[in-house]
Amino acid sequence: MTIHSKLLLPSGRLSPRPVLAAFMRCRDSYASIGHSLLRDAAHLAICAALWALAQSYQTAAVASPFVFGLDNRPRAPLGPIDPPGSGNGSEDPFGLVPSPTKVGPSPSLGTTLSDADILKPGATGPVVDTMRPFNTNYVDEISSNRAVVDGRPLRLAFSVDRASSGVSLSAVHAQYQLNQQPGDIFVSARDFPAPVQYVGTIFGFGWVGNLSSVGSGSSNLLLLNQSQLKLKAGSSGFINSTTLAPPITPGSHDNVDAFDIAPVDTTGDHVGDKQMYFSVNPDQAALTPGLYSSPAGIYQTAAGSTTPTVFASASSLGLNPFSDDVDALDLFDRGTIGQVDPGIDYALFSLAPGSQTLFSHSGLNAADIYFTDFSGAFATFASDADLGLNGTVNPAELDGGGLGGVGTGAGVGGTDNLDALGSYPLGDMDWSGSLDLSDVDDFVQGLTRPVDYRDVNIDHFGQPATILGDFSVPRDGIVDYDDVVPFRAAVLGAVPPAAGQSQSVPEPGTVFSLMMSLVALAKCRHRVSSRFPG
């Protein structure tokens, strides 16, 4: 369970003082008389109950809530680990541009890290969380099994490349103007429906259209600045999110091209303790064709292993095995773990610039997110506009819109490439990527002390509690007692971890006592309010 250090007593128990302070603020604010006093008495009782019940919580250590990968440039790789190839990295994985100006390698790789290492922030730069799979150097994206949040509405987290600029007023565009966008993680400004509802609804081969989740448009927010990942933006120091960084040139700025939520190695031996899924870029498929047959396939390593095996072929996604490249991935392995089950398992993914499927269907681009249930077809789950992006088809330095303006993909005029993907389910108040009992104390904090929730604890990335805690439909922009009952239902309905995953939760009796008290008191408040409106 995430317990904020500021709230802990020396004994390790949660300090009642912050909740008591909220209790006192509630008490002092109720100076009105008559029916409003009766109405607010229920609110006061809720504050008191929170103060009393919160004292039973115990603390638990929380590790870094994310891991990531950095892109090298096969045509001019940094360091002795990754072998040379023909591609230009994230911006141009197929090597279509002779002399690109906004490409890697990521300088933080140095001489000791590989494009295929899974990293986490260290004291002075990124360090290895999990070593690269056997005979692997160029990983495009990673995903642990997201089946633990199956069935929940999602906020989509993503990265972009060095040539991306975002749409006006978006966080991507703001960071682009500061030359910082390639090392950052962004999050969608809107919810997306639970993708599981689309399992079994798409038929045929290849792209089959747009899902109902597409079309409302939206923007994006900054979730993690590259300085929080200990990455470089053209400078030896770490630059905050409001400072102008040096211009992007080849090899000057780190680019996050893989992202996943929660550590992969939990024992300190640099070997993954989760079932991990990943994609590789075209150069990896050319360097080790015996291990990797396609940059459009999905591969895996089992918990405790660094030996890669095939999870899903390119054709099961409806993709071209030779000319498409999956460069973003969020995989939900719901059936037999480690074995693709068409019509049961599903994934969200994106395609890299230059992927030929993007030219085959008008309007598709490298900033779209697609859905597949591995039955040979895929559909658009989120368009570039839904994410505050303006996607490209070609590498941006070939004018984005199509091969010299030829083909049905021509006319897509943007520069954006969605480069890595993750997701946070509604109710995931501790931003762990899961929904479980560990979210209760964070929900209570967001409910009673929303300013502290946003500003005090780094685990919430500076985001308000409303991002993942406002269950109102439509959203009303606050976390209040109307959200208690749906939050409780979400926690109770959360799917247990699938095989190969781990989850740490507090003692159920304590948590459910709190949840039941919250629900009962919230209902009491509604009954009093309905009898004494105003």
Give 246's pLDDT tier (boundaries 50, 70, 90): very high
pLDDT over 90, % of the chain: 70
Give 129's pLDDT tier (boundaries 50, 70, 90): very high
Quote the mean pLDDT of the chain: 84
CB atoms within 10 A of CB 509: 9
Phi-psi region of 4 (alpha: psi -120 to 50; beta: other; left: phi over 0): beta
- The label of the residue with tokens 């079309």 reads 215
3-state secondary structure of 124: coil
Give alpha helix (H) positions in 185-312: 282-287
**What distance in Å separates the CA atoms of residue 463 and residue 468, rounded to the nearest whole number?**
9
pLDDT for 48? 46
Tokens coding 221: 């927010």
Give 449-494 as a DSSP string: -HHHHHHT-GGGTT--THHHH---SS--SS--GGGHHHHHHHHHTP
Give the mean pLDDT of 19-42. 40
Nearest to 316 by CA among 358, 349, 290: 349
Question: Residue 489: which residues within 8 A CB-CB, separation 6 or more?
Answer: none
Give the mean pLDDT of 290-311. 97
Give 173-205 as a DSSP string: HHHHHTT-GGG-EEEESS-B--GGGGTT---SS
Task: Please say whether the beta carbons of 356 and 175 come within 8 A.
Answer: no
pLDDT at 510 over 90: no
pLDDT at 17 over 80: no
pLDDT at 33 over 50: no
Give 412's pLDDT tier (boundaries 50, 70, 90): low
Question: Residue 460: which residues within 8 A CB-CB, separation 6 or more?
Answer: 430, 431, 442, 453, 454
Give 363's pLDDT tier (boundaries 50, 70, 90): confident
| Identity at 72, one-letter amino acid code | N
First to last CA, the chain: 38
Tokens coding 191: 């919810």
Determine which of 91-100, 151-160, 411-420 has the lowest per-residue pLDDT on average.
411-420
Give 494's pLDDT tier (boundaries 50, 70, 90): confident
Task: Please say whether the beta carbons of 41 and 528 come within 8 A.
Answer: yes
pLDDT at 52 over 80: no
Give the mean pLDDT of 338-342. 97
Determine which of 51-65, 69-83, 200-214, 492-506 has the lowest per-residue pLDDT on average.
51-65
Q: Which helix (H) or strand (E) holds 328?
A: strand 326-332
pLDDT for 65? 82
Question: Residue 374: which residues within 8 A CB-CB, separation 6 or more?
Answer: 312, 316, 317, 340, 341, 342, 343, 345, 346, 347
pLDDT at 404 over 60: no
Cα–Cα distances in angstroms (integers) from residue 371 to residues 199, 200, 452, in the given order: 9, 11, 37
pLDDT at 496 over 60: no
pLDDT for 15? 42
Task: Please say whether the beta carbons of 238 and 124 come within 8 A.
Answer: no
Give 408-433 as a DSSP string: TTTT----B-EEEEEEEETT-TT-SS
CB atoms within 10 A of CB 394: 26
Return the percent helix, strand and coil in the chain, to nearest 5.
25, 20, 55
pLDDT for 521? 55
Tens digit of pLDDT for each residue in 448-463? Answer: 999 999 987 778 999 9
Give 507's pLDDT tier (boundaries 50, 70, 90): very low
**What distance in Å separates the CA atoms of residue 289 and residue 134, rounded to the nearest whole number?**
13
Give the mean pLDDT of 223-231. 96
Give the mean pLDDT of 418-430. 96
pTM for the full predicted model: 0.84
- Dihedral angle of Cα 145, 331, 132, 96, to the nearest 10 degrees: -170
Nearest to 2 by CA among 307, 344, 318, 262: 262
pLDDT for 514? 57
